[in-house]
Structure 1
Amino acid sequence: DNDTHLLFAVKIFPCEEYSSWKNESQIFTDASLKHESVLQFLTAEDRESGPRKEYWIITAYHSRGNLKDYLSRHILSWMDLQKMASSLVNGVAHLHSDYTACGRPKIPIAHRDIKSSNVLVKSEWECVICDFGIALKLDPSLTADDFANSGQVGTARYMAPEVLESRVNLEDLESFKQMDVYSMALVLWEMASRCEVVGEVKSYELPFGSKVQEQPCVDTMRDIVLHGRGRPEIPCNWLVHQGMHFLCDTITECWDHDPEARLTAHCVAERINFKSRLLTPSYLLNQTNEAIL
């Protein structure tokens, strides 16, 4: 949208949430965070509001709102789904990467609260990741104690099994990325559930929506995900479409119970970007023409 570049959004933190504002500001002010699938940061400042102090983060504004609300109102075509999924995984892959797109070294970042309400819908059905209040820079100079002090975080519905069990390997920085990949898989499932190629598209539901309350607690999710090994359902009719079958296989590998068995965000991005090119009409037409020749 043309207005995207003219309008901005202000996120206001009360003084009680100073630490979250400080963390998000520090993450955002790192120039290497810039990416087309990460919310564009403009500035951070503190403001006096009467007797109370407020903390502001000012970013680009996206009128379509967050992905959760968008999916509740819209059904996606296969092309829409490909664009949205690709932009999401490209964003997560960028956060996790040791390098920027230009090849400059960067410190990887674990988001730690990936969910559909922390993803905004940009123009042309592309997504940007937002809300870095509990994100963590995976700086190799930090110790396991530093990471342990960063706290048990995230939203219970999207927590990986090892987080629910409090058995995260703090010695290995990859552990933090593996948690993000699990959460990302649930968001990809949400997108897939609203795509017209699955046949009858049901009303939008959050992951595990029919099994839990609107804001399930950690104990509830521990019973379902950890002890019951439950995951959102992938019905058989989703697998009839070749591209959707491929996406569902990828999702399943991303929410594996074993963190080390999960795909990396970089691998998922390569898979989805490659498959998107394979399934474009122009590619298929060229293949058909070559076959005829």
Structure 2
Amino acid sequence: GMPLLMERTISRQITLESIVGVGRYGEVWKASWSGENIAVKIFKTIDEQSWKNEVDIYQTNMIHHASILNFIAADSKDIGDSVQLWIVTSFHPFGSLFDYLTNNELDEITALKMSLSIAHGLSHLHMYIPTFSLGAKPSIAHRDFKSKNILVKNDLSCCISDFGKQISSFYLDNFGNTNNVNVNNNNRIDNNINKIGTTRYMAPELLDGRLQMNSLDVELWKLADIYSMSLIFWEIATRTNISDLARPYQLPYFDSVSFDPTMDEMNAVVNVQRVRPALSSDWNRSVILKELMRSMTSCWFSARLTALCVKKNLLKHA
């Protein structure tokens, strides 16, 4: 980011050009600022908490990383009857990984580049970095990790965005012990009410309530991110063209659940039937897809690799 004073006035120097995305929080605009294309994410006032969460992440020590969306400024803009909350970042014309995969097949090299950059970014997010002078970089879990929350850069590597649901290990420092004792045992129902994240990408332990949505245990949430990452790898693999065999883009579990699945529906598939996305035997023809497949399946059940391990495994093929 930039000095706070500059940040505060930046919205006055920005020209909004066109809407490039709409989500539950608000809108993303393509905009220009002193001759440069940038992106502006505008939150509704009701979603101030998401805006704050996201700003917190971007202002964390040592968060800056090639695989994490580059933050320029945060600002609030008074527009008469309400206040707009802005986050200004770099602009990536290709849009989200979801958009890109919907419209494009990949070659193996691109599939590896994308997966590796995603593992790189998640590994950086998850990592705790102590420092001598400044405060440490906390461990951060994303908690809404999916192909719509990853952007494709011009060189086709990826960067992670949308940190409105994140939780960091700084909570632990501030609030001491984090054992959330829940008096009633209706964990699944509680999880449904306090839902965080996107049902389709939710880890098994969130779907059946073993991990509580109100848990502040960053280590457990990091494991949930890893499961989500494995589904994103599956999306990448299905769109990779080896000997003219890329399938049309599909969401994970497209053949098992409805378009907007409930947690119960998802739980029945993932935990009761223990279904996971189908692997293609063709992937064995490619060293890279074979590695992606290994990474994926190592993150599907309760013992999961860390993002750092996944990154190291993929690096062997880069």
| TM-score computed with the length of structure 1 as normaliser | 0.86
1:120 corresponds in structure 2 to 151
Higher relative contact order (CA 8 A, sep 6+): 1
Change (3 A) 1:75 1:166: same
Change (3 A) 1:63 1:98: same
Query: Post-superposition shift, 1:171?
Result: 7.6
Question: Separation in 1 of the partners of 2:263 and 2:239?
Answer: 27
1:137 aligns with 2:168: yes
Amino acid at match of 1:27: I
Query: Post-superposition shift, 1:6?
Result: 2.2
Amino acid at match of 2:229: M
1:228 corresponds in structure 2 to 273
Structure 1: segments with no counterpart, 5+ residues = 277-293
Structure 2: segments with no counterpart, 5+ residues = 1-31, 183-189
| Percent of pairs with identical residues | 36
1:268 aligns with 2:302: no
1:208 aligns with 2:239: no
Moved more, 135-144 or 204-213: 135-144
2:227 partner SS: helix
Task: Spell out structure 1 runs of 4+ moving beyond 6 A.
Answer: 146-150
Query: Post-superposition shift, 1:193?
Result: 0.5
Question: Separation in 1 of the partners of 2:83 and 2:37?
Answer: 24
Query: Post-superposition shift, 1:255?
Result: 1.5
Higher helix share goes to which structure? Answer: 1
Aligned match for 2:79, one of 24, 40, 49 = 49
- Whether the 8 Å CA contact 2:140–2:166 is kept in 1: the answer is yes
| TM-score computed with the length of structure 2 as normaliser | 0.79
Alpha carbon RMSD of aligned pairs, Å? 2.6
Question: Separation in 2 of the partners of 1:147 and 1:82?
Answer: 42
Residue correspondence of structure 1 range 53-64 to structure 2 within 5 A: 53-64=83-94
Residue correspondence of structure 1 range 149-168 to structure 2 within 5 A: 151-168=194-211
Question: Separation in 2 of the partners of 1:147 and 1:65?
Answer: 41
- Whether the 8 Å CA contact 2:168–2:218 is kept in 1: the answer is no
Query: Post-superposition shift, 1:243?
Result: 2.2
1:192 aligns with 2:229: no
Amino acid at match of 1:166: G
Change (3 A) 1:147 1:194: farther
Question: Separation in 2 of the partners of 1:232 and 1:191?
Answer: 12
Amino acid at match of 1:173: V
1:76 partner SS: coil
Amino acid at match of 2:137: K
Question: Separation in 2 of the partners of 1:223 and 1:52?
Answer: 43
Aligned match for 1:108, one of 130, 134, 139 = 139
Question: Separation in 2 of the partners of 1:53 and 1:156?
Answer: 30
Question: Separation in 2 of the partners of 1:244 and 1:228?
Answer: 26
Question: Separation in 2 of the partners of 1:19 and 1:113?
Answer: 15
Q: Deviations over 1:180-230 (max 9, x none)?
A: 000000001100110012752111001011222222111111111111111
2:248 partner SS: coil
Residue correspondence of structure 1 range 231-242 to structure 2 within 5 A: 231-242=276-287
Query: Post-superposition shift, 1:54?
Result: 1.2
Amino acid at match of 1:71: L
2:69 corresponds in structure 1 to 39
- In the alignment of these two chains, the number of paired residues is 271
Amino acid at match of 1:274: K
Query: Post-superposition shift, 1:100?
Result: 8.2
1:179 aligns with 2:209: no
Moved more, 104-113 or 31-40: 104-113
Amino acid at match of 1:59: T
Amino acid at match of 1:91: G
Aligned match for 2:59, one of 5, 23, 29 = 29
